[in-house]
Amino acid sequence: MSTDLALDRLCGQLIVGGYLGDRPTPTFLHAVEQGHRAGAILFKRNLPSIEAAHSACSAIAAAAPDGLPPWLCLDEEGGRVRRLPSPFVKLPAMLKLGAHGDEALIERCGRVAGAQLRALGFNLNLAPVLDVNTNPSNPVIGDRAFSADPLEAGRMALAYLRGLRAAGMVGCGKHFPGHGDTSVDSHVGLPVVAWRIDRLRQIELVPFQAAISAGIECLMSAHIVCESIDAQSPATLSPILATDLLRSELGFQGVLLSDDLEMKAISARRGFGEAAVAAIAAGCDAVLICSQEQAQEQAHAALIQEAERSPGFRTRCEQAASRSLALRRRFPAAASATPQSAMESMYTRDARELATDLSQFG
């Protein structure tokens, strides 16, 4: 599987980066122009207004070389994980929506959110959450999940995914193999769970299997250690989980993104270069490095060095880049012509009616 890319571009297409500030930095745009980034992930710090969102997406898309359309992504889950200001649709926490049990309403949420994101230039929403809310003390998932019941969590998440797809938006299910029963936030530490594989199949993997069976195009890995399955590595860096379980057993054929390598579960234990190489070798098709441009450069250099040293690793890089590029070429980012036209597209009848129907959730 060949992408016909020079090695620097091949390895660059394995990194989705972020930047600080409310507009793309010249250095970040230069990296995109060189083919050294697969795209960008944006946060509230980058999106003070709808106009800023449109401008950032347009600038990054314009900087990308021909044939290398970028990912333009963000975490727009609803509830406490939302990045865009008004008039972007304000979705309640997914646990509230899931408890309501209305698949049609959740699908409408995905469709309206997806259409608004597409108008601004995004092509990948890092949602829905496929975790199962089984631990009330979980500091990071909780009401981001749709349900404490595995079947319901999957059913409701798939409704949201259908809505995103109807709007032409790629959804990314997360966090494989399941972050719902942890007591540590992987942003600040390394969660370790004692699940055995039979428990995993009965609970955590149920929504992921449902999403895979429904053809989900993208998943995100979790930085958690399942010590009875692989005691040495978190899922992001574990071939046993990211390849053997996810692809060989569950049959996932899509793009696997790592969670952010800046999170302490990874960065407190490994350098960015080492972590990026390990993630790609384990089975991830791209790594997220969400704010530190220097860390992105370190990862890029390490990926090149390992691909030069190891023909097998270069082949894995080719496979990863090919998967990601194939999906990005199917769903290229395309913002509305102007910020004003993007803003106008957010005031559709569907959006207004959805806002009214969601007012019951507070």
Active site residue 179: no
Exposure of 154 in the CB half-sphere (CA atoms within 13 A) = 17
Strands (E), 170-322: 170-176, 192-193, 218-221, 225-226, 255-260, 286-289
Token pair, residue 119, equals: 């108008």
Q: What residue type is 123 in one-letter code?
A: N
Token pair, residue 328, equals: 């990005």
Active site residue 175: no
* Closest to 24 in 3D by CA, of 5, 37, 11, 9: 37
Cα–Cα–Cα angle for 123, 286, 277, rounded to 5 degrees: 165
- Contact between 36 and 348 under an 8 Å Cβ cutoff? The reply is no
**Residue count of the chain:** 362
Hey, is 40 helix, strand or coil?
Answer: strand
Distance CA 42, CA 256 (A): 19
**From 8, 149, 187, 244, the catalytic residue:** 187
Give 293's contacts (C-beta < 8 A, 6+ positions apart): 17, 19, 25, 27, 28, 31
Distance CA 69, CA 61 (A): 7
**From 75, 143, 181, 259, the catalytic residue:** 259
Distance CA 67, CA 19 (A): 23
- Contact between 193 and 224 under an 8 Å Cβ cutoff? The reply is yes
Which uninterrupted H or E stretch holds 114?
helix 103-120
- Contact between 288 and 261 under an 8 Å Cβ cutoff? The reply is yes
- Contact between 333 and 37 under an 8 Å Cβ cutoff? The reply is no
Distance CA 4, CA 25 (A): 29
* Closest to 230 in 3D by CA, of 273, 185, 274, 200: 200
Q: Which residues are catalytic?
A: 187, 259
